Structure 1
């Protein structure tokens, strides 16, 4: 989908993958709403987008509740008059490779990857339906969601769940003209410049 004259909302936009996606969409012509919990990192990303001549707005949130996703989407519409592209980029937590991982750690990882992606799809799709418009939802996951040699790995399970969730949403939303896609990345090693 061309990002020319579009508005894109990117979660986890303060650093790493989210930052790169936001800047790339801006270079392709989109105005950007940046969402993250770190104001300093968001400011740096916003400055890069301003340099390429696109409008940018910051929505500071940790996106730990369903309501926050709907608020972020409403912010995009109020700021730029529309939302066309939703990038669900929950970020990647450290891989958990053993069977002794605690219940709380499992719950946090699943919520972090799967639940936040689900809420992002909901919020964007709801806005697209309200406006009777087509749109694009891009879910960011990991190559771990396709293949991982580790037999016990909750990280892999969470990424596979995001893949299946994307497939289901793609089929469900296609009749409304909403494209739902998945972008999977391998290991990302941030440079010192982007580490807080």
Structure 2
């Protein structure tokens, strides 16, 4: 690797997908800030990163709150002296099928899938601008937002919105040297590309 001290922040890092992303980036040489609501869920991820020999820090926050995500990014910079990679990995478990879903659950779904991704993009992009540097933003979604199924439910719609946000941010931030990309479940993460 050309730059063994890249700093990555991964939200939802206590869950299976976030854990896998964090461990992969650590194996590729990045030091990691793990972000989630529950410290206990982050322990296995943190232990795995330490075992790899990389530095790790935990930041507990609600990713649906814009100011809290900005605090998480500030924490990454203050803790490790740098900030290079933002992984927006919103985690949401549905409680009901569309026919039974209510206002509160829809609101939570939108907050987790769409708003938290937008807040993460903004927080990372602002930090990259402050530091006058290039950077990488990886938004995690699923094939539901990529395959355009015949029947679109609210979850699929939220994933499509994340895809649209990614496309728009990619065009907007490219002139500043910020790469914004979408990673869908079930595909392989070419992590070396993000940390080299």
Same fold judged by TM-score > 0.5? yes
**2:128 equivalent to 1:128:** yes
**2:169 equivalent to 1:144:** no
User: C-alpha separation between the residues in 2 aligned to 1:163 and 1:186?
Assistant: 16
The RMSD of aligned alpha carbons is 1.9
How much does 1:152 deviate?
Answer: 4.7
Conservation of the 8 A alpha-carbon contact between 2:62 and 2:69 = no
Q: Which residue of 2 aligns with 1:105?
A: 105
Conservation of the 8 A alpha-carbon contact between 1:97 and 1:150 = no
User: C-alpha separation between the residues in 2 aligned to 1:7 and 1:95?
Assistant: 35
Q: Which residue of 2 aligns with 1:79?
A: 79
Q: Which residue of 1 aligns with 2:194?
A: none
User: C-alpha separation between the residues in 1 aligned to 2:2 and 2:14?
Assistant: 23
Aligned pairs, number: 187
User: C-alpha separation between the residues in 1 aligned to 2:90 and 2:152?
Assistant: 22
User: C-alpha separation between the residues in 2 aligned to 1:173 and 1:96?
Assistant: 37
Aligned to 1:86, the other structure's residue is in SS state: strand
Conservation of the 8 A alpha-carbon contact between 2:63 and 2:112 = no
Conservation of the 8 A alpha-carbon contact between 1:97 and 1:152 = no
Q: 1:183 to 1:2 in 2, by over 3 A?
A: farther
Q: TM-score, normalised by structure 1?
A: 0.89
CA deviations over 1:34-57 (Å, ceiling 9, x no partner): 001111121221111000000000
User: C-alpha separation between the residues in 1 aligned to 2:115 and 2:23?
Assistant: 25
CA deviations over 1:14-46 (Å, ceiling 9, x no partner): 121000000000000000000011111212211
CA deviations over 1:122-180 (Å, ceiling 9, x no partner): 00000000010000000000100022546251000000000000000000000000000
User: C-alpha separation between the residues in 2 aligned to 1:58 and 1:32?
Assistant: 9
1:1-196 aligned at under 5 Å gives the runs 4-94=4-94, 97-147=97-147, 149=149, 151-186=151-186
Structure 1 stretch 145-154 or stretch 17-26: which is displaced more?
145-154
Q: TM-score, normalised by structure 2?
A: 0.89
